[in-house]
Amino acid sequence: MADWDLLESAVMPELPEVETTRRGLLPTVVNQKILQVTVRDRRLRWPIPTSLAQTLEKRIVSDVLRRGKYLLWNIEAANSGGFLLCHLGMSGSLFSTRHGAPPAKHDHVDIVLGNKTLIRYHDPRRFGAMLWISGPKPTHPLLTSLGPEPLGDEFDGAHLFRTSRGRSVSVKEFIMNARIVVGVGNIYASEALFVAGIRPTTAAGKISQSRYELLAAAIQQTLSRAIEAGGSSLRDYLKVDGEPGYFQLKATVYDRADAPCRVCGSTIKMIRQGQRSSYFCPQCQR
Partner DNA sequence: CTTTGCACCTGTTGGC
Partner DNA sequence: TGCCAACAGGTGCAAA
Cβ 113 vs Cβ 122: under 8 Å: no
Q: How far is the CB of 254 from DNA (least distance, A)?
A: 8
The one among 33, 99, 126, 225 contacting DNA by CB under 7 A: 126
Which residue in 30, 169, 214, 249 binds DNA (CB under 7 A)?
A: 169
| Residue from 175, 187, 215, 281 binding DNA (CB under 7 A) | 187
Minimum distance from CB of 272 to DNA (Å)? Answer: 7
Judged by CB under 7 A, the number of residues near DNA is: 40
Q: How far is the CB of 54 from DNA (least distance, A)?
A: 25
Question: Which residues have a Cβ under 8 Å from the Cβ of 65 and sit 6 or more positions away?
Answer: 22, 71, 72, 74, 83, 138
CB atoms within 10 A of CB 135: 11
* Residues with catalytic roles: 13-14, 69, 276
**Alpha-carbon gap, residue 141 to 148, rounded angstroms:** 16
225 binds DNA (CB under 7 A): no
Q: Say whether 177 sits in a helix, a strand or coil.
A: coil
Contact between 43 and DNA by CB under 7 A: the answer reads yes
Q: Check residue 185 for interaction with DNA (CB under 7 A).
A: yes
Output the smallest distance, CB 260 to DNA, in A. Answer: 19
Q: Does 236 bind DNA (CB under 7 A)?
A: no
Q: Which stretch binds DNA (CB under 7 A): 26-34, 150-158, 164-172, 258-266?
A: 164-172
- Residue 140 touches DNA, criterion: CB under 7 A: no
Choose between 197 and 205: whose C-beta lies nearer to DNA: 205
Q: Which amino acid is at 98?
A: R
Distances (CA, A) of 20 to 49, 94, 116, 232: 26, 11, 22, 10
Q: Which is nearer to DNA, 107 or 110 (CB)?
A: 107
Comparison of 48 and 113: residue with beta carbon closer to DNA = 48
Q: How far is CA 39 from the centre of its chain?
A: 23
Give Cα separations from 189 to 48, 144, 276, 277, 278 (angstroms): 31, 23, 11, 11, 8
Query: Closest separation between CB of residue 143 and DNA, Å?
Result: 8
How far apart CA 47 and CA 35 sit, in angstroms, is: 22
Q: Which is nearer to DNA, 14 or 19 (CB)?
A: 14
Contact with DNA (CB under 7 A) among 30, 35, 53, 142:
142
| Interactions with DNA, residue window 237-276 (CB under 7 A) | 246, 248, 274-276
- The bridge status of strand 34-39 relative to strand 93-98 is unpaired
How many whole angstroms separate alpha carbon 9 and alpha carbon 245? 5
